[in-house]
Amino acid sequence: MYAIFKREFLSYFRTPVGYVAMAIFTFISGFIFYTLFSRGIVSISEEIISLRSLFVVIVPIITMGMFAEDRKRGTDVLYFTTPGDLFSVVCGKFFAAIALCLVMFINVFIHMIVVSLCGGRVGIGAWGSVIVFFFLAALFISIGLLASVLTDNQIISAIVSFLLILVTQLISAIGAYFGTAASTLMSYMGMNVSSRNNAQKSITNAISWFDPFAKTSDFGDGIFSVSALVFCISFAIFFLYLTFRILEKKRWSQK
Amino acid sequence: MIEIKNLVKHYGDKQALKGISFTVKDNEVLGFLGPNGAGKSTTMNIITGYLSSTSGMVKINGHDILEQPDLAKKDIGYLPEQPPLYLDMTVEEYLTFMCELKGVAKKDRKEHIETIAKMVGIEAVTGRLIGNLSKGYKQRVGIAQALVGDPPILILDEPTVGLDPNQIIGIRKLIKDLSKNHSVIVSSHILSEIQEIADRVVIIHKGKIAAIDTVKDLSQRLTGSTKLLLSFKGPAKDAVNRLTMIQGITDVTIRNSGNLSEVEITTAKVAGDEIRAAIFFMMAKSGWPILEFRSLDPTLEEVFLSITAG
């Protein structure tokens, strides 16, 4: 696993991919920080919460090539024909992407230092946001890896992961939409108001339960909820496992 | 030692392999021949564990590739048709990565890479990016990658593709040297190459084994007779008349007549010394100087064509 991790991590800096991702992240985080700072608000957790929307752009960039490029170049042969299991290959790539996020995040750490030097306070809420940021990164990167293993075209892989991550970010809105739709449908069927409202609420809640942002929103206020972290990790493991199974299946059914 | 029994592979409705069985002994070079799409690469991919067979068994030094994959894969060095190279790495970084993947101990890595680089002739380019190398060098880096970890079995899918004649001779020599203590399976489109380096040949056609034998036995089994080529200065027609009178010669055909005649002589059995001597004396007596006189063993090309055409 370490060999794969090292190769993938260093390859971010051998190609423009790592630099592009870092440039986007640094620019946007710097811009957000500047905007907040110039208004006299020194809230690191607010900056990090805004940065979470960047996953939808950053993650496809850093994960699109991970399996797609291997397949296209024929280097995936190495994983199948050398000793060692495929799950460690998946994990190696996953941790390489996490490590890149850590490197990108250095900029935010600098902002935290600036804030404390200028007399601001980096409170527990800020640290909570940092923790959440990485758990969410793990979740979205695992989705990106899954998109990458599905195709051998990087562009398609990027688009698929972009759409999947976009859906997870809009999940509360999607839940609300389905709730309203169900309620409208029931009103046509002539059902009473209270059962319609109940149905709307349950459907909205059921779908919104999957919203990773809503789940982790307490962290910015300094409230640590283990269940939210377990949620992110379980889904990350689920997607990584799915990636591993698809990778393994490819050798059974090839064109 | 590689044991392959009854390999069958389906791609959807298409049956790519229809029951392939053969074994490769220790320190043997097995040539793998077949037209495009015959199933050569599929077979190699299954042996190395890259693909799974629909049914059948592959054992590498006694370890089943599916049941004990790590033990089996440890013994194999594989160069696929498209060398698995990371173009963004230097040769040295890449070979170090391969050492890590194959579990070569850290303290031995540097020496191991130097030895391999010397063997395949890439010492001069170890510091360069693979993406900037010529095709021939890339191919050699691919071979180097297969040698990492010193596996006793090497599977090389068209190893000399894209190399210049000097490099081809170099790689053939390397394979011959390696065969002293490695089992090697080599596929190639260049039949003379297989003829030169392989101990045995497997001819695979439409997913089945069409022939499996030594190169020499294959040629003889196919013809049962021997052909001789004779070129000389003299009248071709007269020579044919006189040659057919020599006992043991079944057929003489004219290839070229004129100032310089050339005839093809077919003998009933393998041409012994007597027939050749008789031909020589007859030509001398007739006053027709012999310019060239050699046996025409069927080349692997002919064997291959006659097997795969049938």
B109 touches chain A (CB under 8 A): no
Looking at the fold, whether A126 and A184 belong to one and the same domain comes out as no
Query: How many structural domains does chain B have?
Result: 2
pLDDT at position A255, please? 52
Decide if pLDDT at B224 tops 60: no
pLDDT at position A166, please? 92
Looking at the fold, whether B212 and B255 belong to one and the same domain comes out as no
- What is the distance between the alpha carbons of residues B219 and B229, in angstroms, rounded to a whole number? 17
The tokens for B111 are 């020496």
Q: Are B243 and B252 in contact (CB under 8 A)?
A: yes
Q: Which domain holds residue B178?
A: 2-220
Q: Collapse the DSSP code of A99 into the 3-class scheme (helix H, G, I; strand E, B; otherwise coil) and give the result.
A: helix
Looking at the fold, whether A151 and A176 belong to one and the same domain comes out as no
Q: Where are the beta strands (DSSP E) in chain B?
A: 2-11, 14-24, 29-33, 55-60, 63-64, 76-79, 153-157, 183-187, 200-205, 208-214, 226-233, 249-256, 260-267, 290-295
pLDDT at position B131, please? 93
Q: Are B142 and B79 in contact (CB under 8 A)?
A: yes
Looking at the fold, whether B26 and B42 belong to one and the same domain comes out as yes
B258, containing H or E segment: none
- Which residues lie closer than 8 Å to A109 by C-beta, 6 or more apart? none
Pairing relationship of beta strands B76-79 and B29-33 according to DSSP bridges: unpaired
Looking at the fold, whether B172 and B38 belong to one and the same domain comes out as yes
Pairing relationship of beta strands B76-79 and B153-157 according to DSSP bridges: parallel
Looking at the fold, whether B70 and B115 belong to one and the same domain comes out as yes
- What is the distance between the alpha carbons of residues A80 and A86, in angstroms, rounded to a whole number? 7
Residue A95 burial (CB count, 10 A): 18
pLDDT at position A172, please? 87
Looking at the fold, whether A37 and A81 belong to one and the same domain comes out as yes
- B302 in a domain, yes or no? no
Q: Which domain holds residue A163?
A: 2-168+212-249
Looking at the fold, whether B85 and B200 belong to one and the same domain comes out as yes
| pLDDT tens track for A132-190 | 899 999 999 999 999 999 988 999 999 999 999 999 888 888 888 888 888 888 888 88
Looking at the fold, whether B62 and B185 belong to one and the same domain comes out as yes
Looking at the fold, whether A25 and A136 belong to one and the same domain comes out as yes
Question: CATH number of the domain that B40 lies in?
Answer: 3.40.50.300
- A202 in a domain, yes or no? yes
Which residue has tokens 């049938």?
A: B310
- A254 in a domain, yes or no? no
Interface probe for A, chosen from B51, B129, B157 (most Cβ of A below 10 Å), is B51
Q: Are B32 and B44 in contact (CB under 8 A)?
A: yes
Looking at the fold, whether A78 and A179 belong to one and the same domain comes out as no
Query: How many structural domains does chain A have?
Result: 2
- Read off the pLDDT of each residue in A74-102 and give the average, rounded to a whole number: 92
- B139 in a domain, yes or no? yes
Looking at the fold, whether B82 and B190 belong to one and the same domain comes out as yes
pLDDT at position B171, please? 85
Decide if pLDDT at B61 tops 70: yes
A150, containing H or E segment: helix A124-150
pLDDT at position A140, please? 95
8 Å CB contact of B88 and A14: yes
Looking at the fold, whether A136 and A236 belong to one and the same domain comes out as yes
Residue of A6, A7, A81 with shortest CB distance to B50: A81
CA distance B167 to chain A (A): 24
Going from the C-alpha of B75 to that of each of B48, B49, B110, B147, B283, the distances in angstroms are 10, 12, 21, 10, 58
For residue B66, the one-letter residue type is L
Looking at the fold, whether A163 and A95 belong to one and the same domain comes out as yes
For residue B142, the one-letter residue type is G
* Alpha-carbon torsion, ordered B276, B280, B286, B292, to 10 deg: 100
Interface probe for B, chosen from A19, A77, A251 (most Cβ of B below 10 Å), is A77
Per-chain mean pLDDT for chain A: 89
- A255 in a domain, yes or no? no
